[in-house]
């Protein structure tokens, strides 16, 4: 069955019903959902084996982003996130984009650099020449450290030597580029860095320093683009043309001001991190790489920009994204495995394109809201639910209390408690009267 990510009215269903709908749309057996998400997916015994000093398991909401169409195919993207409105906003933006044909994405080969710092280097240029002259030996030595990766078609690809700082620093760095295939690559690349450090020091007549990957994996970039017919951006109060102009102005604001760029990029990372976390990937690595890349020209810049082109608004996102679909957390976390299956990702590069697509959808949603009604209207309606739950509302009372708070314009714990006490009393007296 061809996957569809378009499931109208999805949010109105119960959680069980939604699982059934996603299972149907993604060819996952319904029982896999129940098994994978029981007790938040990860049990305390397994957790205790994976990190230290475990005292419990901490769970977060697991949701489905709908309507995503990327490179001509439908994707139901998994998101794990605690912030209200991000999932709804990304799904809504993806629905708008699919009307113009959907997102297009492409990605580089999965290259990550192993960095070997060499110290006490008196003649940096000579040291560089000696290391480069031994390139094939270094690549072979690196490959010997990761036979499994080489068997899967990956391995060391290139050696780059850079002289760092002033002559008084006496420091060079050797970057060995490694094709990590479907792995995120941190362990593989670190193993290579440690395996070849000694030989590099001999070749450069140097002392070996740090041996570790770089999270600024700018050779493993992903690019996403969308072109939205302006009329699709219209809101109840504004024309699509005006919203598109506001979004372009908002993009320029981020291009000109790092203070705004940080918030702009936070909105993009709302989408990306949620997919990264859902699929058991290392979001700290992703964040480090994204922000270092945003600052690559010496000034912090937006990762996505928007321009009007004819009757369309065009968005373009580019960032480094090192994700894996094998190893790591996926080995132990059943929900992460299920989320990956649900995404339909064909490999690590495909997963990176999906995550970046959700990032661009999140950015579109934020900019559209900021260019029209402002962010608080939609946000507060959803936030009201969290406040209602905190005040003690359960089941259908959550929606009822949240809606009443929005009507009254008072979204506070106190307000929620007052409404809850009042409605519970009304329901109680109605039941007594019956
Ligand atoms: C909130 O989580 C994200 C936004 O601030 C992003 C933005 O301002 O572009 C709404």
The residue whose CA is least distant from atom 10 of ligand 1 is 366
Question: Ligand 1 centroid vs 29 CA: distance in angstroms?
Answer: 36
Q: Let me know if residue 170 belongs to a domain.
A: yes
Question: Over the chain, what is the mean pLDDT?
Answer: 94
Q: What is the pLDDT of residues 29-44, one digit of tens each?
A: 888 888 887 767 889 9
Percentage of the residues of the chain whose pLDDT score is greater than 70: 97
CA-to-CA distance for 32 and 19, rounded, in angstroms? 10
pLDDT given at position 318: 98
CA of 360 to the centre of ligand 1 (A): 12
**Same domain membership, residue 93 and residue 227:** yes
Domain end, chosen from 213, 240, 272, is at 213
SS3 content of the chain, % helix, strand, coil (to 5): 55, 20, 25
Whether residue 226 is found in the same domain as residue 118:
no
The answer to whether residues 242 and 95 belong to one domain is yes
Atom of ligand 1 nearest to the CA of 86: 2
Looking at the fold, whether 181 and 295 belong to one and the same domain comes out as: no
- Nearest-angstrom CA–CA distance, 103 and 297: 27
For residue 365, how far is its CA from the centre of ligand 1 (angstroms)? 9
Cβ contact 86:271 at 8 Å:
yes
Q: Nearest C-alpha to atom 3 of ligand 1 is from which residue?
A: 267
Q: pTM score > 0.85 for this model?
A: yes
Q: Each residue of 147-162: pLDDT tens digit?
A: 999 999 999 999 999 9
Tens of pLDDT, residue by residue over 389-410, are 899 998 888 888 988 998 888 8
- Is the pLDDT at 113 greater than 80, yes or no? yes
Spacing, Cα 17 to ligand 1 middle (Å): 31
For residue 135, the enclosing domain spans 111-213
Please state the domain count of the chain: 3
Q: Where is pLDDT greater, at 264 or 422?
A: 264
Does residue 129 form part of some domain? yes
Which atom of ligand 1 approaches the CA of 363 most closely?
A: 9
| Rounded average pLDDT over 137-147 | 98
Least confident of 43-47, 61-65, 69-73, 377-381: 377-381
- Distance, in Å, from the CA atom of 234 to the CA atom of 240, rounded to the nearest integer, reads 4
User: Where does 58-177 have alpha helices with state H?
Assistant: 86-98, 124-133, 135-145, 147-151
Residue 30 in domain: no
What are 229-260's pLDDT values in tens digits? 999 999 999 999 999 999 999 999 999 999 99
Residue 345 in any domain: the answer is: yes
Owner of token pair 């991000």:
86
Same domain, 82 and 146: no
pLDDT of residue 32: 87
Ligand 1, atom 2, residue with closest C-alpha:
267
> What pLDDT shows up at residue 41?
84
Mutational pocket test of ligand 1: of 370, 377, 383, the residue with most ligand atoms within 8 Å of the beta carbon? 370
**Among 270, 272, 368, which is best to mutate for testing ligand 1, by the most ligand atoms less than 8 A from CB?**
270
pLDDT at 1 over 70: no
Across 272-290, average pLDDT: 98
**Terminal C-alpha separation, the chain:** 51
Instruction: pLDDT band for 434, please (50, 70, 90 cuts).
Output: low
Residue nearest to atom 9 of ligand 1 (CA): 264
Q: Domain with 404 in it: what CATH number?
A: 1.10.8
CATH of the domain at 174: 3.30.70.420
- Tell me which residues are annotated as active site: 83, 266, 282, 379
Asked if residue 66 belongs to a domain, the reply is yes
Distance between Cα 79 and ligand 1 center (Å):
17
The 3-class SS string of 67-95 reads EEEECCEEEEEEEECCCCCHHHHHHHHHH
Strands 155-164 and 221-229: unpaired
CATH of the domain at 333: 3.90.770.10
Nearest to 35 by CA among 273, 255, 338: 338
- Higher per-residue pLDDT: 389 or 228: 228
288 and 310 both lie in a single domain: yes
Segments in 205-333 forming alpha helices (H): 240-256, 258-278, 283-294
Closest protein CA for atom 4 of ligand 1: 267
The pLDDT, as a whole number, for residue 376 is: 77
User: In this predicted model, what pLDDT tens digit does every residue of 200-218 receive, in sequence order?
Assistant: 999 999 999 999 999 999 9
Is the same domain home to 234 and 175?
no
Residue 31 included in any domain: no
∠ CA 225-229-234, rounded to 5° = 120
Distance 370 CA to ligand 1 centre (A): 9
Tell me whether residue 263 is in a domain. Answer: yes
Same domain, 382 and 369: no
- Residue at which a domain ends, from 179, 213, 247: 213
To test ligand 1's pocket by mutation, which of 86, 87, 263 has the most ligand atoms within 8 angstroms of CB?
263
Mean pLDDT on 73-83: 97
Question: Which of 182, 213, 244 is the last residue in one of the domains?
Answer: 213
Nearest atom of ligand 1 to the alpha carbon of 83: 2
Q: Mark whether 243 and 312 lie in a shared domain.
A: yes
Strands (E), 259-407: 304-309, 312-320
d(CA 152, CA 157): 14
Residues 171 and 199 in one domain: yes
Residue 302 lies in a domain: yes
- Pair (418, 332) in one structural domain: no
Same domain flag for 155 and 123 = yes
Predicted pLDDT at 430: 63
| Residues having CB within 6 Å of any atom of ligand 1 | 83, 263-264, 266-267, 270, 366, 370, 375
């Amino acid at each position: 069955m061809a996957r569809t990510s378009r499931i109208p009215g999805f949010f109105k269903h119960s959680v069980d019903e939604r699982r059934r709908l996603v299972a149907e749309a993604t060819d996952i057996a319904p029982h896999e959902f129940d098994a994978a998400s029981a007790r938040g997916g990860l049990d305390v015994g397994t957790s205790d084996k994976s990190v230290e000093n475990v005292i419990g398991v901490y769970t977060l909401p697991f949701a489905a982003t709908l309507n995503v169409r990327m490179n001509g195919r439908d994707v139901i993207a998994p998101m794990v996130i605690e912030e209200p409105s991000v999932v709804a906003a990304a799904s809504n933006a993806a629905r708008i984009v699919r009307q113009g044909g959907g997102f297009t994405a492409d990605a580089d080969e999965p290259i990550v650099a192993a960095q070997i710092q060499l110290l006490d280097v008196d003649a940096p240029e000579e040291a560089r020449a000696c290391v480069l002259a031994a390139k094939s030996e270094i690549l072979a030595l690196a490959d010997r450290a990761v036979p499994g990766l080489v068997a899967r078609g990956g391995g060391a690809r290139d050696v780059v030597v850079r002289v760092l700082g002033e002559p008084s620093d006496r420091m060079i760095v050797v970057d060995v580029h490694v094709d990590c295939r479907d792995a995120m690559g941190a362990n593989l690349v670190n193993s290579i860095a440690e395996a070849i450090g000694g030989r590099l020091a001999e070749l450069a007549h140097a002392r070996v320093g740090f041996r570790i990957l770089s999270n600024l994996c700018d050779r493993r970039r992903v690019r996403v683009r969308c072109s939205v017919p302006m009329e699709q951006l219209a809101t109840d109060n504004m024309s699509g043309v005006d919203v598109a102009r506001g979004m372009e102005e908002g993009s320029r604001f981020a291009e000109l001001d790092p203070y705004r760029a940080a918030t702009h990029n936070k909105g993009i990372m709302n989408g990306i991190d949620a997919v990264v976390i859902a699929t058991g990937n290392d979001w700290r690595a992703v964040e480090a790489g994204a922000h270092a890349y945003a600052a690559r020209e010496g000034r912090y810049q937006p990762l996505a920009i928007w321009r009007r082109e004819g009757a369309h608004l065009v968005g373009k996102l580019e960032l480094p994204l090192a994700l894996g679909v094998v190893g790591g957390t996926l080995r132990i976390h059943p929900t992460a495995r299920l989320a990956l299956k649900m995404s339909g990702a064909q490999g690590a590069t495909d997963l990176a394109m999906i995550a970046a697509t959700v990032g661009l959808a999140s950015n579109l949603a934020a900019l559209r809201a900021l260019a029209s009604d402002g962010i608080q209207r939609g946000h507060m309606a959803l936030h009201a639910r969290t406040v209602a739950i905190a005040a003690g509302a359960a089941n259908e009372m959550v929606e009822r209390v949240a809606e009443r708070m929005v009507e009254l314009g008072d979204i506070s714990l106190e307000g929620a408690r007052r409404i809850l006490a009042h409605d519970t009393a009304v329901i109680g007296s109605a039941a007594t009267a019956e």
